[in-house]
Structure formats: C-alpha cells, structure tokens
Structure 1
Amino acid sequence: MSCRTFTRVVATAVALTASTLIPPALADEPVKVKVFVGAMFEIGQNTGDRAGEFQHWYERYFSQSKPISVKGALNPVYCNDDGVCGSVLGMGKVASSSSVQAIILNPQFDMSEAYFIVSGVAGTPPERGTIADVSWATWLVDYDLGHRWAPEEGEPGAPTFMPRKGYEKVRLFQLNPDLVGWAMHLTGKTNLKDSDSARSYRMRYPQEAAQRTPAVKTGTHITGDTFFHGPGMSAQAQYIAKLYGADDYLITEMEAAGIAQVVQRTLGDRRFLSLRGAVNFDQGNPNETTLQHLDPAPGQTAGGFAETVDNIAAVGGRMVDHIVSHWSEWKNGVPPLPRQ
C-alpha cells in the first residue's frame, strides 16, 4: 500500500469514527429559537381530540414538525422553520421549571434571542375577571414562599400569611412593561369566543366583572402549587400581591414564577410573557360553599373550557406572528411601542 493510499484510508476511518460518535443533532447547527411557547398539560394527543393547553398551538405551528427529544424535559420539543418552538412542560413549579431548564441548556437549541410565552388555563377572582378571559401578566408572585397558620390560631380577622426573609428575589417578578404593552397593543381587541354554558354560569355570581363577556386583560398572576379555592384564600392572594407592591391579583396558576426564575437566571427576563385563560372562578357563588365549588355536582361546572383554550392560542398567536414577521426589529430586544 502506498503512503498516499494509507493516508486516505486512515482519514476515511477517522471520519467514519467521528460520525458514529457525534449525534446528528449535535453535528447540525442548533435551532435558532425566536419564540418558545410552553404549555403545562395536554388532555390526550397533540391533535385530533379534545384540546388541552397545547393542541391549538401544535395545530397552528407544529403539525409538520418532528419531535425533538430533550433529556430532562417531560415531553419533546417541536420547532417549525420560522423559529417557533413549543413543548408541554408539566404541571406545577417543579415539573415545568425543570423542563424549561433542560430545554434551555440543551445544545440542540440556541435560546439566546428567544422570547418566551408561558401559556395555559387558570382561575380568576369574580371581582376582577370572568370565564374565558385571557390575561397577560404584569407581575408574577409566588404564593408559597412564607409562613402560614390556621385562622383560629391568630388574631381574629387578621391575615394568616407572613413573608419569609431570604426569598425577596424569587417571590416577585415584574415582567417587561414594554413587552406587556406590545402584547396588549397587538391583542387587546381580539374577539374572544364564548359559550352558552359559560354565559349561564356567570350569572350565578353577583359581581359585575364576573358577569361580563370575556376580554383580554392584564394583571398579577399568582403562582402556587396549592390549588386554592374560596373567598378567604382569594383575599389572601390579593393581600400578598399588594404586600409585594404588585398589581391587583387577576390569575391563579401553578407554574409561571418558577419558570420565570429559570429564564431570568439563564437568559434574562426582558423577553418573558405569561399568558393565561380563565376556566374557573377561584371561589363559589354566594349560594354554595367552598367545598361544593371544589366538588361540583354533575352539570354544575363553569363550561367554556374549549373556548378558553382556543382564545389563549388566538391571542398568543398574534404576538408570536408579529415577532416572527418583524424579526429584524425584535431580534435585538423589544422595540419602542408605537405612539398611540
């Protein structure tokens, strides 16, 4: 064998060995993510059955996309050719935030310029919202970081919560006001779907806000692993929001503050949005107890779930489409809001 032939054989062998050692996903360029949409659960399949939090997003952006497996994430990630990616992250702060961290740190994705939309269903207090509302968060507040005690063990009528020192940087997140402003500018007048069952259910509540037709709103989203119910817990959520200097409590959910902490630590928080649709009130009407509201009789639920998850994707999709179609303006950060 000549020296030249030997060199060629060795080079070929090295190349073949390298190709077997380097996974294809790592050999390719990472996906340049422009917008990442995170849902918390899906009821069944991603398409073709009853829609949960992800199905409308999937059908809008990812129906032609192949799943990308990510170690440490609960479910695969889907990405389209426009740089929009999404995944079902899991319910609760731990499941969802651990999925997000695994996705952000995975070399298959370049998240350095990505905008995040945390998207899902939620509850709302009847004093401020109604079924099928869609809300962009102005603030995220962690409901769980503090001290609590039974009402009968404190002063009558006094709050039963006290913040715990040391959590100041992780219990409260103000979302970028310019980005939230853009979200309302682009989506605030979206025509939202409603249902006869939701219209009927609203009338059980005397509050004016509860009886209104659904709309796009902004306010504080309270994150708690406890699925709290009742006027007492609702009042406590508002107490905590005001104690921390946030806007009025509008949405109760289980993930956003945890995810925001992961995104803030790894990428910064200027490109982060929380989008929620209200599928229940956080308390019963005056004619039912809290336990009756928690465990309703057949036919006594709020209705409007299907319409709400559709509304969420319709509102959020306007934001996604605008960012992607104007990427040269959004790539380096949130552009100035247009003058009204």
Structure 2
Amino acid sequence: MFVRKILLYSLLLIVGIFNAHAAEPKIKVKVFVAAMFEISENQGDKAGEFQHWYLTYFKETKPIQVTGAVNPVFCNKDGVCGSVLGMGKVASSASMQAILLNQHFDFAQSYFVLNGVGGTPPSQGTIADVSWGTWLVDYDLGHRWKPEEAEAGKPTFMPRKGYENIRSYQLDTNLVRWTKQLSANVQLKDSPSAQAYRTRYPDKNARRKPKITFGTHFTGDTFFHGPGLSKEAQYISELYGADDYVITEMEAAAITQVIDRLHGTSRIMSLRGAVNFDQGHPNESTLAHLDPAPGETAGGFAETVENIVLVGSQVVDHIVLNWADWKDATPKLN
C-alpha cells in the first residue's frame, strides 16, 4: 500500500509539472535580433556584435536556455528577443532552427534582424558603413576551378542546377523601403584611425565618410579576399539578377533558408556594418591585407558595431511602438 501511494504521488507530481510547463504562455516575439559573435561578455568589455543590442534591449532580462543553440535567448517585456547564434553557416543556422522550434517562443508574426559585421569592396563602401541587404546570395553553391585552368579572363564559377531556390533571396522590397526611411537620419560614428586608413584607397566610395548603403549581401563560409574574388562576387550577383554586391558576410543566406522553411522571408532584414575592405589597397598584396602587420589594421571596429545598433534600433523601435499596424503584415509604404 505504501509503495502504491508513493507511485501515485510521483505520477501526480510528474503530471503536475508537465501541466505547469504546458500552461506557460509562449513569448510572442515581435522582433528577433540575431548576432553572430560576441567578443566576451555582453557588457563591461570590448563590444562585439551583440553587446550594444544587449545594453539597449536586454540588460534587465534573464537568459533563456535553448537546447541546440550555442547561446541563450534574451527577451524583454516589449517582445524584442535576441541571441548570439555563432559564426558561419552551420553554427548560425543550427542555432536559429533550435530557437524557432523551441516551445518557449511564438514566431508566427516575428520580424528578424540578421545583423553583424562584414567586409565591403572599396568600389562600393567604406569602413563604418552600415548596410541593409536587398538580396542575400550564397557564395558557395556552385562549381569553381583555378584561374589557370580557365580561358584567360573568363569566369571560374558556374552555378549548379538544383540550388535555384536557395542560392539567392530577394528580401521584401517594401520592408527594405521602410528600413531606408526609418534609418535615413541616423548620424553614423567615425574614428580617426578609420579616416586615416581610407586614404590608402583611391576609390571615391572607400575614401568618403560612412553612410547607410543598400545592396546584395554575400554569404560564404570561405572568407574570400582580393580583387579577383571581389569581381567574381559581383559577377555572381549579376548572374543571379541581384543588386550590386556591397557586403561580404558568413551567415545571412543560411539563416534565411531556415526561417523560410517555417515562416517565409517577407519579414527578414539583413543589417551589416563594414569593418574591413574585401581587398588590399593598390600597394598591398592580398596576403598582407589578410594578415596585417601591427598598426596596419583598418580601425573603426568599435564605431561600426555601435553604428549597426544606432541604425537597427530605429526600425526595431518603430515596429514595436506601432505593433498594431505591423503584426499582420508590413504596412504598405506609399
């Protein structure tokens, strides 16, 4: 009899715990901010891609552990959530899928800001620029061969059949127009070190002050570098009918594929800050640019990661403050 009572009590306890968890309301996520890395802590040290977001939105929140994600999720009372997903296609997309499928969250009406740092071709941008993506293109999906094995001057990349639906994504044009309007008046920060570094490049865009740009963000696990591969990225953008290549990064197309399978792409935004050029200046080899000597780095990293949040928060705040207009669909912008 005693054993039966213990078993009955245990069963009731288990059922009670299960029901308690089942009764917990899901967090309705209005905006999810995805960063790819943080240098160390979320506050109190050198900032990476997430720290300024954390200080702006999540400082008073508690971490939510998610099985399968490399870092916890933070959510504030206004429905803004964020996490550091990990660098590269596999780490970031695996974390995103684990978070999307987790029982704590309701992503049915969520907007996504995929944000971080990247590189820019000097013909298109400069250090401390902030760029909203209009297209996301996967750099890795196709066939490549060595230039010496090709006809002189001809491309060494060929698309492969079967990847048509995942090799490129055009982001919602109406939402891109909203990002342009909402962030148009943000004053971007700059640094003396970045200003000095720009003078090494002859390109007009490379030498100017930082600004907000729009164009194709190129996703690749391969950290491609040099004028030849930069031209190849532009060639692939044109081949796919995308806009000019303006940012190189490592995650956005992969994360978008994961989100697309569950929620589509109409609420995805890609936001990147340029912390390096994708090639050396005319008097610098590609290898020297990839592995710079002390004092030869671009500078401006701290200002760029702050600029990203200065720009992105304008959109996040507007969506949250006007949620009744945004929850069912992105409002039409006349």
Shorter-chain TM-score: which interval?
A: over 0.9
Structure 2 counterparts to residues 183-262 of structure 1, below 5 A? 183-262=179-258
Query: 1:15 Cα shift?
Result: 5.2
Shift of 1:336: 1.2
How do 1:1-340 and structure 2 match up within 5 A?
16-21=13-18, 24=21, 26-337=22-333, 339=334
Change (3 A) 1:214 1:14: same
Using the TM superposition, give the Cα deviation of residue 18 of structure 1 relative to its aligned residue in structure 2, in angstroms. Answer: 1.8
Q: Which runs of 5+ in 2 are unaligned?
A: 1-6
Alignment root-mean-square deviation, CA:
1.6
Distance 1:334 1:15 in 2: 46
Compute the displacement of 1:20 (Å): 3.1
CA offsets 1:267-304 (integer angstroms, 9 cap, x no match):
11100000000000000000110000011010000000
Given that 1:30 and 1:110 are in contact with CA atoms closer than 8 Å, whether structure 2 keeps it comes out as yes
The 3-state SS of whatever aligns with 1:218 is strand
- Residue type at the aligned position of 1:288: E
Letter of the structure 2 residue corresponding to residue 146 of structure 1: G
Instruction: Report the residue type matching 2:182 in the other structure.
Output: L
Deviations 1:220-245 (A, max 9, x none): 00000001110001000000000000
Counterpart of 2:4 in structure 1 is none
- AA of the residue aligned to 2:13: L
User: Do the aligned residues in 2 keep the contact of 1:188 with 1:217 (CA within 8 Å)?
Assistant: no
Cα deviations across residues 277-334 of structure 1 (Å, max 9, x unaligned)?
0000000000110000011010000000000000001100110000000000000010
SS in 1 for 2:215: strand
Q: Distance in 2 between matches of 1:44 and 1:178?
A: 36
Supply the distance in 2 between the matched residues of 1:304 and 1:268 (Cα, whole angstroms). Answer: 35
How far, CA to CA, are the matches of 2:277 and 2:157 in structure 1? 22
Secondary structure at 1:121 match in 2: strand
In 2, Cα distance between equivalents of 1:145 and 1:136? 23
| TM-score normalised by length of structure 1 | 0.94
Equivalent residue letter for 2:78: D
CA distance in 2: counterparts of 1:218 and 1:68, whole angstroms:
34
Q: How many residues align?
A: 329
Give the whole-Å Cα distance in 1 for the aligned partners of 2:106 and 2:301.
34
> 1: CA distance between counterparts of 2:125 and 2:36?
22
* Deviation for aligned residue 1:107: 1.0
Cα distance in 2, alignment partners of residues 15 and 217 from structure 1: 59
Given that 1:136 and 1:276 are in contact with CA atoms closer than 8 Å, whether structure 2 keeps it comes out as yes
CA distance in 2, matches of 1:54, 1:302: 21
